[in-house]
């Protein structure tokens, strides 16, 4: 009896493409919900969300599953494409493929490669900055610790406006108090310390909001970045247009009773999700 | 009708092969495509040339012998037919028609338009049968109740004639539609369930070993299949394979 080959066989590879692909669809929904805060939320909300996404242990596990899915989906896809090319060493002189299949279904590898390029640039532009660089912090008033010579209950810091210490009055208004530039340490990406001491006087959030807005509003490259982003979302739309429903077929979910629903949902997902993603940089570049 | 034919000519399996142009006249719209090739071959023989080799047998769409990739489509531009059922009325006077063999690593060209589809036979040998001893006391057919819809679906799958159009048309040269039809035909019937686990594992292994590509669900096979074998069968095979794998 033949051994099953859930990793190596042609059908096994389909399962993995489908499972990782569907997981990445779920990831897209979560990512989109977060991104929409750039339009509908405040800068603080967005930065708090970004901090949560990089610090929460459960989210961390999910993010590792996401990295794995992207890599596996890409590697498996490349292996499949190589095998499939080998399966027809001599091609047709004339092939009227448009008469029996959709353009996107025949070009998933090309679309996928473009998406991989987009993901790489996207991660360099935002993910790597969030994880590894020292970006400006946006302050949130928490955990005030004693600091010599100041009114302890009423101080704040807002590095986004130039490293000033503010006094907050009874109504929550900011009153200029003192300069702290060069006087503070930022540790663990969110804690403010008095320079050279262990006195923590505030916590803040990495200002990913500012990075994002400045990225798409960049006077020289902002328009190019926006166009590249929107183009990538069009690529994503075509990739999903075939991929979403295809994943169900690969997993064996093909029943005439539900096929209409799956195909309809696939097309809806393929249009709505990339469209909402694409609106955000357009909004930032042209309106904000 | 006057036509220009661009036909793949290849002396033998080792020859490199090339497209050769032929002019042909006096073709009636009611001729079948293979009859048109017969006319061409008569002319070639009269001129002392080597006739174009192509596969054919029953010429009524049930044997699965005829193949041909005509104007970029397996079995030509019409739907739900084999090449022998394609008629010249589907073409116009003055048309140029490309005629190529089914292309796949697993379907090597033997000569001209004839390909070796022995890989399908080997997949069948791996499990496309039911090991029932039919000598002696054959059971009464009605003694074994089978759901009507299952019986219909099994019959639909069994109409596959193994022509290889699915492989020829698939951009990946995948044999999934063929194999899934053979798997489904038995998976839906109680007689086939007995060996279902071994069947799907062995047939998929044989398919992979023959060098067919992987399915990417373009659905081209279903469109070009002369017997209308449904993609549902591929999904069923995927389910069967998973169930067999975790057993």
Count of domains observed in chain A? 2
Measured between CB atoms, does B204 come within 8 Å of chain A?
yes
Residue B104, token pair as written in the block: 């796949």
pLDDT band at A164 (very low <50, low <70, confident <90, very high): very low
- Report yes or no on A58 lying in a domain: yes
CB-CB under 8 Å, A5 with B238: no
Q: Note the pLDDT of residue A139.
A: 54
Q: What is the pTM of this model?
A: 0.88
ipTM of the complex: 0.92
Q: Which of A99-103, A143-147, B89-93, B225-229 has the lowest mean pLDDT?
A: A143-147
pLDDT, one tens digit per residue, over A47-85 is 889 888 888 899 999 999 999 999 999 999 999 999 999
The helix, strand and coil proportions of chain A, stated in percent and rounded to the nearest 5, come to: 65, 10, 25
Q: Are residues A249 and A218 both part of a single domain? A: yes
Which of these, B105, B137, B43, lies nearest to A88 by C-alpha position?
Answer: B105
Q: Strands B96-100 and B3-9: what pairing?
A: parallel
Compute the distance between CA of residue B120 and CA of residue B133 in angstroms, rounded to an integer: 24
Tell me the pLDDT tens digit for each residue of A200-232: 656 667 778 988 999 999 999 999 999 999 999
In a domain? residue A249: yes
Q: Are residues A74 and A161 in the same domain?
A: no
Do A66 and A112 sit in the same domain of this protein?
yes
Domain-located, residue A113 = yes
Identify all chain B residues contacting A10, using CB atoms and an 8 Å cutoff. Answer: 174, 176, 204, 207-208, 212-215
Nearest residue to A51 (alpha-carbon basis) of A37, A39, A65, A40: A37
CA dist A258 to A164, A267, B231, Å?
60, 14, 14
Same domain for A58 and A16:
yes
DSSP calls for B105-154: TTS-EEETTEE--HHHHHHHHTT-S-----SS-PPPGGGS---HHHHHHH
- Provide the pLDDT confidence category of residue B207 given band limits of 50, 70 and 90: very high
Regarding whether A234 and A120 lie in a shared domain, the answer is yes
Total Cβ atoms within 10 A of residue A146? 10
pLDDT in tens, A234-284: 999 999 999 999 999 999 999 999 999 999 999 999 999 999 999 999 999
**Any domain includes A2:** no
Q: What is the mean pLDDT of residues B207-225?
A: 97
Look at residues A206, A223, A248 and tell me which one is the last residue of a structural domain: A206
Task: Search chain B and give the residue with CA nearest A6.
Answer: B245
The pLDDT mean for chain A works out to: 83
- B110 reaches A (C-beta below 8 A): no
Domain boundary among A206, A224, A259: A206
Please indicate, yes or no, if residue A94 is contained in any of the structural domains. no
> Residue A282 domain-assigned?
yes
A183 band by pLDDT with thresholds 50, 70 and 90: low
In this prediction, residue A141 carries a pLDDT of 45
pLDDT of residue A196: 65
Chain-chain contact of B105 with A87 (C-beta, under 8 angstroms): yes
| A199 lies in the same domain as A238 | no
Which residues form the domain of A174?
Answer: 137-206
- Distance (Å, whole) CA B72 – CA A19: 34
The answer to whether residue B156 scores a pLDDT higher than 80 is yes
Average pLDDT, chain B: 95
End-to-end CA distance of chain B: 60
Query: Which residue in chain B has the smallest CA separation from A79?
Result: B214
The 3-state DSSP class for residue A115 equals: helix
Q: Which of residues 36-65 of B touch A (CB under 8 A)?
A: none
Q: Judge contact between B116 and B19, C-beta under 8 A.
A: no
A146 and A243 share a domain?
A: no
CB–CB contact B205 A250 (8 Å)? no
Can you give the C-alpha Rg of chain A in angstroms? 25
Tell me which chain A residues have a C-beta less than 8 angstroms from the C-beta of B126.
2
Cα end-to-end span (Å), chain A:
65
For B214, the closest of A13, A88, A95 (CB atoms) is A13
> B interface mutation test: which of A16, A88, A111, A260 has the most B CBs within 10 A?
A88
Rounded percentage of chain B residues whose pLDDT exceeds 70: 99
Q: Does B242 reach chain A within 8 Å, measured CB to CB?
A: yes
Query: In terms of DSSP bridges, do strands B18-24 and B114-115 run parallel, antiparallel, or are they unpaired?
Result: unpaired
Q: For residue A72, tell me if it sits in a domain.
A: yes
- Residue A137 is predicted with a pLDDT of 63
| pLDDT given at position A88 | 97
Same domain, A124 and A237: yes
| A196 and A229 together in one domain | no
Considering only CB atoms, A252 lies closest to which of B201, B216, B236, namely B236
Domain-located, residue A96: no
If asked whether residues A276 and A194 sit together in one domain, one would say no
What is the C-alpha separation between A27 and B219, in angstroms, rounded? 27
Q: pLDDT tens-digit profile of A92-105?
A: 999 999 999 999 99
Q: Which chain B residue has its CA at the smallest distance from A78's CA?
A: B214
Are residues A28 and A115 both part of a single domain? Answer: yes
Q: What is the tens place of the pLDDT at every residue in B84-141?
A: 999 999 999 999 999 999 999 999 999 999 999 999 999 999 999 998 776 777 778 7
Contact of A74 with A67, CB cutoff 8 Å = no
Name the residue of chain A whose CA is nearest to B201's CA. Answer: A2
A197 and A124 inside one domain: no
Confidence tier at A174 by pLDDT (50, 70, 90)? very low
**A76 neighbourhood in chain B, CB within 8 Å:** none
Indicate the residue among A185, A206, A227 that finishes a domain.
A206
- Enumerate the residues of chain B whose CB falls inside 8 A of the CB of residue A250: 215, 217, 238
Please indicate if any CB of chain A lies within 8 Å of the CB of B236. yes
Domains and CATH numbers, chain B: 3-111 (3.10.20.30), 117-134+142-245 (1.10.1060.10)
* Chain A CB contacts of B13 below 8 Å: none
All residues of chain A having their beta carbon less than 8 Å from the beta carbon of residue B207 are 10
Q: Give the pLDDT band (50/70/90) at residue A142.
A: very low
Please name which of B104, B98, B133, B229 lies closest in space to residue A84, comparing C-alpha atoms. Answer: B104
């Amino acid at each position: 009896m033949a051994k099953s080959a859930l990793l190596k066989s042609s059908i096994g590879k389909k399962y993995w493409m489908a499972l990782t692909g569907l997981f990445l669809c779920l990831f897209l929904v979560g990512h989109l919900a977060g991104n929409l805060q750039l339009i509908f939320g405040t800068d603080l909300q967005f930065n708090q969300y970004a901090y949560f996404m990089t610090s929460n242990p459960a989210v961390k596990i999910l993010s590792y599953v996401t990295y794995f899915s992207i890599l596996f989906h890409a590697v498996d896809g490349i292996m499949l494409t190589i095998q499939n090319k080998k399966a027809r060493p001599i091609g047709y002189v004339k092939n009227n493929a448009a008469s029996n299949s959709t353009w996107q279904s025949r070009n998933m590898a090309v679309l996928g490669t473009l998406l991989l390029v987009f993901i790489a640039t996207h991660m360099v532009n935002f993910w790597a900055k969030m994880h590894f660089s020292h970006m400006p912090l946006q302050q949130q008033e928490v955990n005030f610790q004693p600091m010599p010579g100041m009114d302890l209950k009423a101080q704040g810091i807002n590095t986004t406006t130039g490293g000033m210490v503010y006094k907050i009055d009874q109504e929550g208004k900011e009153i200029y108090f003192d300069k702290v530039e060069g006087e503070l340490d930022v540790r663990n990406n969110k804690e403010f310390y008095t320079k050279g001491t262990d006195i923590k006087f505030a916590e803040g959030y990495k200002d990913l909001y500012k990075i994002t807005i400045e990225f798409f509003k960049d006077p020289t490259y902002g328009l190019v970045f926006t166009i590249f982003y929107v183009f990538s979302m069009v690529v994503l739309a075509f990739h999903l247009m075939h991929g979403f429903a295809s994943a169900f077929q690969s997993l064996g979910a093909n029943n005439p009773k539900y096929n209409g629903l799956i195909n309809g949902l696939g097309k809806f997902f393929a249009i709505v999700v990339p469209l909402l993603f694409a609106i955000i940089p357009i909004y930032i570049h042209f309106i904000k | 009708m006057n036509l220009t034919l661009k036909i793949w000519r290849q002396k033998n399996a080792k020859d490199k092969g090339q497209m050769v142009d032929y002019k042909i006249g006096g073709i009636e719209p009611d001729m079948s495509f293979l009859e048109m090739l017969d006319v061409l071959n008569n002319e070639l023989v009269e001129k002392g040339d080597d006739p174009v080799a192509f596969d054919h047998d029953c010429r009524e769409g049930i044997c699965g012998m005829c193949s041909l990739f005509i104007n970029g489509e397996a079995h030509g531009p019409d739907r739900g037919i084999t090449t022998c059922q394609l008629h010249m009325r589907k073409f116009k006077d003055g048309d140029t028609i490309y005629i190529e063999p089914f292309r796949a690593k697993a379907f090597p060209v033997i000569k001209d338009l004839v390909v070796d589809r022995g890989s399908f036979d080997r997949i069948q040998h791996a499990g496309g049968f039911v090991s029932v001893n039919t000598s002696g006391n054959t059971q009464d057919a009605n003694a074994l109740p089978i759901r009507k819809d299952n019986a219909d679906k099994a019959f639909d799958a069994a109409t596959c004639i193994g022509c290889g159009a699915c492989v020829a048309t698939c951009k990946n040269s995948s044999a999934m539609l063929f194999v899934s039809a053979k798997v489904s035909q038995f998976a839906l019937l109680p007689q086939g369930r007995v060996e279902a686990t071994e069947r799907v594992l062995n047939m998929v292994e044989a398919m992979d070993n023959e060098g067919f590509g992987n399915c990417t669900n373009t659905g081209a096979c279903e469109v070009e299949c002369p017997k209308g074998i449904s993609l549902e069968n591929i999904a069923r095979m995927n389910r069967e394979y998973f169930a067999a794998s975790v057993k």
